[in-house]
Amino acid sequence: MNLSTLTVAVVAALVLSAVVPAAAQTVPPGYPADYAAIIAAAEQEGAVAVYSTTDSASADALLKDFRALYPKLQIKFYDLNSTEVYNRYLSETAANAETADVLWSGSIDLQLKLVADGHALTYRSPEAGKMPKWAVHEDRAFGTTFEPLVIAYNKRLLPADAVPKSHGDLLRLLKEKPQLFAGGKLTTYDPEKSGFAFMLMTHDEKYFPQFWDLAAAFGHGTGRFYPSSGTMIERITSGEHLLGFNVIGSYVVLRQRKDPDLGLVYPSDYVLVMSRVAFIPKNAKRPNAAKLFLDYLLSARAQKIMANQATLFSVREDVEGPYSAAALAKELGATLKPIAVDMSLLAALAPAKRLATLRKWQETARAQ
C-alpha cells in the first residue's frame, strides 16, 4: 500500500461517510484500516448478488450471520445448480446485463474455466494469508470449504464386516463377493451427467491406478449412477443401494443427524477433498459488496459456522470444529488429497480426451 492510494482511500472513506448519515461499519479485527472505505462503498452499493450452488438451507446460517455483520447490505442469493451458474453468468455478461457480484460454486473446473477466460477480478483478500496455498489461485479464485468425498453405506443392510475401508478394499469386495451388490446395489456419481463427477474420476485415476478395474466392477448392472450426492444418499438410506462411492461428505454428515443408519467411511488409502470456489467477476456491478462477501466467506467467523452448524467443512487450518479441515487432518493426515484450485484442472476439459474417457466409462461401468 503506498501513500497515494492510502490517501485516496481515506479521502474516499471520508467523502462516503459524509454521504452516509450513519457511521460506517467498524473494520473487522486484523484488517487494514483502509478497509473502512470498502465497507462504506459497499454500503453505498446496498446489496450483493450471489449465484451459488450451496442450497439456501445450508447457506442460511452464513447469510444470517453476514446480515448481522453488515445490516445495511441486502443479500440477493440465487440458489442454482452449477450449469445454471455458469450459463446464467456467461450469458448475462455477454449481453452486458447485470449479473452476479460473487460466483460461488462447487464445480471447481467450470469456475476455473471462467477465471482462465479472464472473467475474475484480482483481489488480495485480507484473509488470503490464512488460507492454505492450494485453495487460492492468483488472488482470483478462492476455495472456501474442505469437503471430503467418502464412502456412504446403509448400516441396517450392509454387514459391518463387509464395509470396505479403502478404494482397494472396495475393489476386492466387488471382485470377491459380486453377488452382494448385484442388481444395482452400488451407486456412485455419474460422470456422464455431472462435470463434477468427471473431475472426481480424473483425480481417482491419478491416485488409484486400478480405478478402471473398479469402473468395470460397477458394470453389468451392479452400479447405478446419479448426478447428485443427495439422490445417492436418499437411495442408500432407503436400502435401494447398500453403498455409495464418492459421496460428498458434507451432505452425508447432514443426513446422519436425521438418520442414524447412514454410515460413513473415509477411505484409508486416500480421501479426495473438494472445495467450493468463489470469485468476483470483473464486471460485478457491486464490487465492494462482493469483496465484503468474499472476505466474509474466508473469515474465521464464517469458517467457524461452516465447521459447526452448517456442516460445510471449513477450509482454514486455524478454525476448529467437528466439520473442519483441522479435525480431518488430525484424523487422516496425509491421505487427504484436496483438489487444488489451479489451472491443471482445465486439462480435463479438452474435448477429445474427455470424449475418450467418457467412452471408456460407458464401455466399463455402463457395460450391459
Partner 1 sequence: MLWLRAPTVLILAALVLLPIGIVVYQSFLDEPFFAPVARLSLSSYEFILGEPDFKRAFLTTLALAAGMTAIAVPLGAVLAFLVVRTDLPGKSWIEPALLVPIVLSPIVIAFGYVVAVGPVGFASLAFKRLIGFVPWNLYSFASLVVIAGLTHVPHVYLFSSASLRKLNLELEEQARVMGAPPWRVALSVSLPLAWPALVYAGVLIFFLGFELFGLPLIIGDPANVLVLTTYLFKLTNILGTPSYQLMAVVVVAMALVTLPLVYLQRYLLRIAERYVTMGGKGAQSRPLRLGRWRFVALAAIVIWLLVAIGLPLAGVLLRAFVSRWGEGVNPFDNLTLQNFVDLAEYPNLVGGIVNTFLLATVGAAAAVAAYALIALAVHRWRSPLVAMVDYLVLLPRSLPGLVAGLAFLWVFLFVPYLGVLRSSLVGLWLAYSVVWLAFGLRLISATLTQIAPELEEAARVIGAPPGRALRDVTLPLIRFGLMSSWLLCFMIFVREYSTGVYLQGPGTEVLGPLIVTLFGGGSLELVAALSVVNVVLVAAGLALALRLGVRI
The residues of the shown chain that bind partner 1, judged by CB under 8 A, are: 49, 55-57, 60, 63, 76-81, 83-84, 86-88, 90-92, 94-95, 97, 109-110, 113, 156-157, 183-184, 192-195, 198, 224-225, 227-234, 237-240, 251, 258-259, 261, 348-351, 354-355, 358, 366, 368
Q: Which cell is 3 given? A: 501513500
Q: Which cell is 27 given? A: 473494520
The CA distance from 282 to 115, in Å, is 10
* Least distance to partner 1, CB of residue 165, Å: 23
* Least distance to partner 1, CB of residue 326, Å: 26
Closer residue to partner 1 (CB): 76 or 206: 76
Closer residue to partner 1 (CB): 13 or 243: 243
* Least distance to partner 1, CB of residue 242, Å: 10
**For residue 220, with 0-12 CB atoms within 10 Å meaning exposed, 13-18 middle and 19 or more buried, which class applies?**
middle
* Least distance to partner 1, CB of residue 289, Å: 14
* Least distance to partner 1, CB of residue 291, Å: 20
Closer residue to partner 1 (CB): 170 or 233: 233
Beta-carbon contacts of 49 under 8 Å, excluding residues fewer than 6 positions away, are 76, 78, 98, 99, 100, 101, 102, 285, 286
Closer residue to partner 1 (CB): 114 or 328: 114
Q: Which cell is 4 given? A: 497515494
Closer residue to partner 1 (CB): 109 or 127: 109
Closer residue to partner 1 (CB): 231 or 283: 231
Please calculate the CA angle 327-330-336 and round it to the nearest 5 degrees. 90
Q: Which cell is 234 given? A: 436418499
The CA distance from 288 to 25, in Å, is 13
The CA distance from 170 to 43, in Å, is 53
Maximum separation of any 2 CA atoms in the chain, in Å: 74
**For residue 169, with 0-12 CB atoms within 10 Å meaning exposed, 13-18 middle and 19 or more buried, which class applies?**
middle
Q: Which residue has the cell 467443512?
A: 313
Closer residue to partner 1 (CB): 232 or 325: 232
* Least distance to partner 1, CB of residue 127, Å: 26
Main-chain dihedrals φ then ψ at residue 194, nearest 5 degrees: -130, 120
* Least distance to partner 1, CB of residue 96, Å: 9
DSSP 8-state code for residue 222 = T
